[in-house]
Amino acid sequence: MGAFKETKLPADAPAAQKALGWVDDRFPLTKLWNDQWGRYYAPKNFNFWYIFGSLAMLVLVLQIVTGIFLTMHYKPDANLAFASVEYIMREVPWGWLVRYMHSTGASAFFIIVYLHMTRALLYGSYRKPRELIWLFGFAIFLCLMAEAFFGYLLPWGQMSYWGAQVIVNLFGAIPLIGPDLSLWIRGDYVVSDATLNRFFAFHVIAIPLVLLGLVAAHLIALHEVGSSNPDGIEVKENLGPDGHPFDSIPSHPYYTVHDLFGVSVFLLIFSAVVFFAPEMGGYFLEYNNFLPGDPLKTPLHIAPTWYFTPFYSVLRAVTADFMWVLMVAVAAYVSFLWLKSKLAFRTKAVIAVIAIVAIIGMLPQVLDAKFWGVVFFGGSVVILAFLPWLDHSPVKSIRYRPTWHKVLYALLALTFVALGYLGTQPPSVIKTIVSQAGTLYYFAFFLLMPWWSTMGTFKKVPDRVVFHAH
């Protein structure tokens, strides 16, 4: 090992510079800053869609800080949890603000993450060489869903209690292991003090640690291959004499200012919600959750928080009658694969066998619709992970795709919002039919993407990024 070498600074150097030099000799602080932001070169044509990554980081910090202050006063005990939340709201100085910031922050987090994922869909940010970035991002999304689910029980309100009861019971639909799995998750035969304690441990310690690790991996992978851009052009293919891409600029100060403006706008909206509409009409904080959880009194309509409802609608759409439609859809899709896919014969045969087993399993005498609802519920989330291998379009960005591609993306967005709304409403015949139609379109969009993404007349992608100074 080499001898320790200390950076020599002039005797009249400022004290701050000397302190920084002392740290840099022992820890690569300046190098980390330059590598990850200060001298990280990013494409010069970023638009407003690119502020959501930094906003997600801001909200993550906000949630951790407010969460720490909430745990100082919260009691993870079935007999004391609801009263401790009331104590925070009424007696702890500024406790109401911290609680509302945390509850609003949860919804803000999902809004930002959904918009961040929308940007990836629009500009093909999941395409080669950024597949691993997308997979880390997908893992972060799963962690956020788990974090929100575990945290939702903690206030011990009516909707928290019964929402957890319903969701945990869904695992009971899994053949053979379902009942035991539900019992293991709850820690009891019903949602009780044991459930609350383990959910508290996961929400406060386990999931945040995993989440922070995944965020770090997401950022390291991003800065390794470079950021995407609205044109879907790899700027690293055109390097200048300084070794940096022609069409890139340093993140600091340019995107520091860009992101600070986005942060300012976000904080303005966030503050307005926190101070004037923290319940957001019952979508951010349900009215039933202002009542203590009562195992003997079931709410008329039990639904998860709004950010889960698009996937919850998929679960509810899978009824006994709809199973026949799904059987036909599976058979039609496998037939289409055999006719149009370039997969190897062995792969096609394996897929066909799996499909036949699934169709037999969909018969009412074999497995009930509740089980398949859980399967499609999980599938509607997991299918997002496969996007890098489903999209075969010759161009990355939606800017250079056919107009009808844009219509398909717009319909997907409308379907997702519609499913989200229907998931918050009591079920009815018409709403169930609409949910079923939305479910079919949602899966068709992704499962047929390898074919429709290559069809149509594509615009020529320019050699250099398109940039207009503001």
Read off the pLDDT of residues 327-382 as tens digits, 9 standing for 90 and up.
Answer: 999 999 999 988 888 878 888 889 889 999 989 988 888 888 888 999 999 999 99
Q: What is the per-residue pLDDT for 304?
A: 87
Where residue 216 sits, what CATH number does that domain have? 1.20.810.10
Q: What is the per-residue pLDDT for 61?
A: 96
Closest by Cα among 150, 71, 61, 168 to 108:
61
Structure token pair of residue 184:
């293991």
Please give the single-letter amino acid code of residue 373: G
Structure token pair of residue 443:
């899966």
**Statement to judge: residues 229 and 318 lie in one domain:** no
Residue with tokens 């009808």: 404
**Statement to judge: residues 84 and 218 lie in one domain:** yes
Share of the chain above pLDDT 70, in %: 99
**Statement to judge: residues 227 and 328 lie in one domain:** no
- Alpha-carbon Rg for the chain in angstroms: 25
Domain end: 256, 290, 324, which one?
290
Q: What is the per-residue pLDDT for 342?
A: 81
Closest by Cα among 466, 409, 43, 62 to 222:
43
**Statement to judge: residues 267 and 315 lie in one domain:** no
**Statement to judge: residues 128 and 91 lie in one domain:** yes
Please give the single-letter amino acid code of residue 307: Y
**Residues of each annotated binding site:** 102, 116, 203, 218, 223
Q: What is the per-residue pLDDT for 66?
A: 97
Q: What is the per-residue pLDDT for 1?
A: 53
Q: For the chain, list residues with pLDDT below 50.
A: none
**Residues of each annotated binding site for heme b:** 102, 116, 203, 218
Q: What is the per-residue pLDDT for 89?
A: 95
- Note whether residue 326 is domain-resident: yes
Calpha distance 396→408 (Å, rounded)? 15
Q: What is the signed CA dihedral for 417, 420, 424, 427, rounded to 10 degrees?
A: 100
In terms of Cβ atoms closer than 10 Å to its own Cβ (0-12, 13-18, 19+), residue 402 is: middle
**Statement to judge: residues 133 and 259 lie in one domain:** yes
**Residues of each annotated binding site for a ubiquinone:** 223
Across-strand partners of 42? 249
Provide the residue range defining the domain that includes 412: 306-451
Count how many domains the chain has: 2
Q: What is the per-residue pLDDT for 94?
A: 95
